[in-house]
Copies of this chain bind each other. A is one copy, B any other.
């Protein structure tokens, strides 16, 4: 793995590294961690990388690695930069024969997203998008239950993603994570929409197996001088006729990372809360409420495969994140070994395109006073 972005004071770079390392299948071999060669090398040194494989920028890294013997060069790039710096390195990596792991939202524009989808299709290279929540065992159980018809036809969805860390304008006092997220040139047309709304959108489609057909979005800008949304409330309609609400916010004072989803079907319903990720609450027409737990009893194989330790031993954010890398690595290894396997489950370039469509549809709807906009 070669990393693009993720220098010393990056939050998400370290998460990617820990997630990639967890199962002993992936080694970090090079990186273009920062915007200057010096800082990149400084970061690389802390990561015990040889100096010569700490590059000044992604172009240099891709071109240099390509020249290395096949058994020495990186197999894929991991792109962990702010949003505006996803597209170019992803495109260049694909064009030069490297597989890609990319953070979300995938690109700034729909056009860019379509370009990447086409490149992945034409190159037959692998592309993983790091929506980490689908990596959670109980999310996999939720998806499997719906796929297997346990809940019957889906009627209603409620999803929320509530954070409070942007409740005050901390970008004005130089908080780095905040600064680029509120800046349209780096974040894109969506603020909280892209940062966390896309997680909510992805979770709905992943768990239900249904696409959001159309939406009506009422976005908010509550932080002083914000030009991008920091809050949103959205009506959604799924392709099968189900209806629902999505609510997200980064100004919900005191909320930490309150992503939660409820799905109601004809026969049963389920509820998952990211802050208590190891349990899945289910409700039924004719049975008491039942709580499934990670690696616990009566789970589908997909859920069991996503756990590493016995039931009751909490697995968290990093473990879920690592499942994206693990399944990508299993797929990649099979590809490198020219083995045919059932493709493991991880978010792909298509999920990336869905996310970008979601952002743009929401912004368009909001501009039209929450008129319905199609996601197709």
> What 1/0 mask marks residues of chain A from 1 to 42 whose CB sits below 8 Å from any chain B CB?
000000000010011011001111000000000000000000
A67 interface contact, C-beta 8 A: no
> What 1/0 mask marks residues of chain A from 238 to 269 whose CB sits below 8 Å from any chain B CB?
00000111010101111111100010111111
Indicate which residue in B252, B285, B312, B372 contacts A369 across the interface (CB closer than 8 Å). B372
Closest to A163 in B: B312
With the chains together, A319 CA to B14 CA distance in Å?
14
On chain B, the residues within 8 Å of A21 by CB distance are 21-22, 24
On chain B, the residues within 8 Å of A265 by CB distance are 253
Number of this chain's copies in the complex:
4
A209 interface contact, C-beta 8 A: no
Indicate which residue in B151, B235, B286 contacts A216 across the interface (CB closer than 8 Å). B235
On chain B, the residues within 8 Å of A164 by CB distance are 264, 269, 283, 285
On chain B, the residues within 8 Å of A174 by CB distance are none
On chain B, the residues within 8 Å of A249 by CB distance are 156, 264
With the chains together, A14 CA to B268 CA distance in Å?
31
A119 interface contact, C-beta 8 A: no
Given known pairs A156-B231, A257-B311, A314-B314, the reply for A266 and B17 (CB within 8 Å) is: no
The reply to whether B312 and A258 form a contact with Cβ atoms under 8 Å apart is yes
A positions within 8 Å CB-CB of B: 11, 14-15, 17-18, 21-24, 47-48, 151, 155-156, 158, 160, 163-165, 167-168, 216, 218, 220, 222, 231, 233, 235, 237, 243-245, 247, 249, 251-258, 262, 264-269, 274-278, 282-293, 296-298, 308-319, 369-370, 372
Minimum distance in angstroms from A18 CB to a CB of chain B: 6
Most buried by B among A235, A265, A314: A314
On chain B, the residues within 8 Å of A257 by CB distance are 310-313
On chain B, the residues within 8 Å of A308 by CB distance are 14, 18, 318
The reply to whether B237 and A218 form a contact with Cβ atoms under 8 Å apart is yes
Given known pairs A18-B22, A243-B233, A314-B275, the reply for A256 and B160 (CB within 8 Å) is: no
With the chains together, A255 CA to B285 CA distance in Å?
9
With the chains together, A290 CA to B283 CA distance in Å?
10
On chain B, the residues within 8 Å of A292 by CB distance are 288
With the chains together, A247 CA to B160 CA distance in Å?
12
Indicate which residue in B245, B255, B283 contacts A255 across the interface (CB closer than 8 Å). B283
Closest to A136 in B: B314
Given known pairs A160-B158, A247-B158, the reply for A311 and B15 (CB within 8 Å) is: no
The reply to whether A372 and B370 form a contact with Cβ atoms under 8 Å apart is yes
9 more A-B residue pairs beyond the given contacts A24-B48, A156-B222, A369-B372, with a C-beta to C-beta distance below 8 A: A18-B23, A156-B252, A163-B312, A216-B235, A233-B244, A255-B264, A257-B313, A278-B316, A288-B290
